[in-house]
Amino acid sequence: MRIEHVLSLRADARRPVRVLVIGAGGTGSAITMGLPYLDQALRVWGRFAGLDVLLMDADMVSETNCIRQPFSISDIGLSKATVLVNRINLFWGTHWRAEPRNFDERTFQRIQDSSIDFLIGCVDSRTARCVIARSLVKSNNRTAYWLDLGNNAASGQFVLGQPWNARNRRSAERLRTVNELYPEIADVKAGEDPLPSCSAIEALERQEPFINQTLAASALTMLARLLRYGKIAYHGGFYNAATGKLTALPVDPALWRKTRLRNRKMQAKLPTR
């Protein structure tokens, strides 16, 4: 049965929504560049005092990155996270932060903050997702939501979930996370997809333009509705560039159970390594 998810955060015009973005590549940069618009909207709506954002990524800008990501030749060799956050702060007058290193299981301890409101994962490996998933379910973690975005050459998905941790107790209505619904997405034993391309032509062959921007815009639209109206009827979506179709993932506990059961059966049929 389909239901509506009610925002677990208490609206407070005196405090910002705390956001941790992991990854500043194609999708991560699109998400990050779109967050200032959500920041401004929240202030106008009076629901929250905007956003407080920390962007993490250890990668440096390469020449190939200048093809599909918002970087220029003058950025080559610089930290992706630092370039993006400095650009946003200068233009929008924000005080967001960048940390040019990868997320790991000690990140929350290092930044002395385990009560993030939204962790937005824009990573492209099962290993990275596995690290995020393990970190969010530790007994002392209080992250409210995990929004995961991922894509391949011509399609992609975004899924908003509530990690089962000190902040989100066990319940039938708790939004299931991406790794709970689709375990293979964080299964390191399944191997990794091909590494990023090293040439502009190969990069465009492996991934069509605007996939990242489409996923980012759709995910941010969902977050905007959740934060403005305090509820949503869907918590993700699947986009196919070949058909132009975006299929929503409804808030439906019965569907979650069917999805997990189907995935278990599929995993059982796979040969063991």
Q: Contact 155/244 with Cβ under 8 angstroms?
A: no
Q: What gap in Å lies between CA 41 and CA 25, rounded to an integer?
A: 25
Sign of the four-CA dihedral 258, 180, 118, 153: negative
Q: Could you say which residues of the chain have pLDDT below 50?
A: 195, 197-201
How many CA atoms, within 13 angstroms, populate the side-chain half-sphere of residue 25?
20
pLDDT in tens, 81-109: 999 999 999 999 999 999 999 999 889 88
Superfamily per CATH, domain 10-269: NAD(P)-binding Rossmann-like Domain (3.40.50.720)
How many CA atoms, within 13 angstroms, populate the side-chain half-sphere of residue 142?
10
Q: Contact 51/38 with Cβ under 8 angstroms?
A: yes
**Confidence (pLDDT) at 199:** 45
Q: Contact 137/126 with Cβ under 8 angstroms?
A: no
* Phi, then psi, of 30 in degrees rounded to 5: -65, -40
Q: DSSP 3-state helix, strand, coil percentages of the chain (rounded to 5)?
A: 40, 20, 40
Please indicate, yes or no, whether the overall pTM of this predicted structure exceeds 0.95. no
| Integer-rounded Cα radius of gyration of the chain | 18
Q: Contact 128/135 with Cβ under 8 angstroms?
A: no
The partner residues of 99 in beta bridges, in order of sequence, read 56
Q: Contact 39/138 with Cβ under 8 angstroms?
A: no
Q: Contact 31/20 with Cβ under 8 angstroms?
A: no
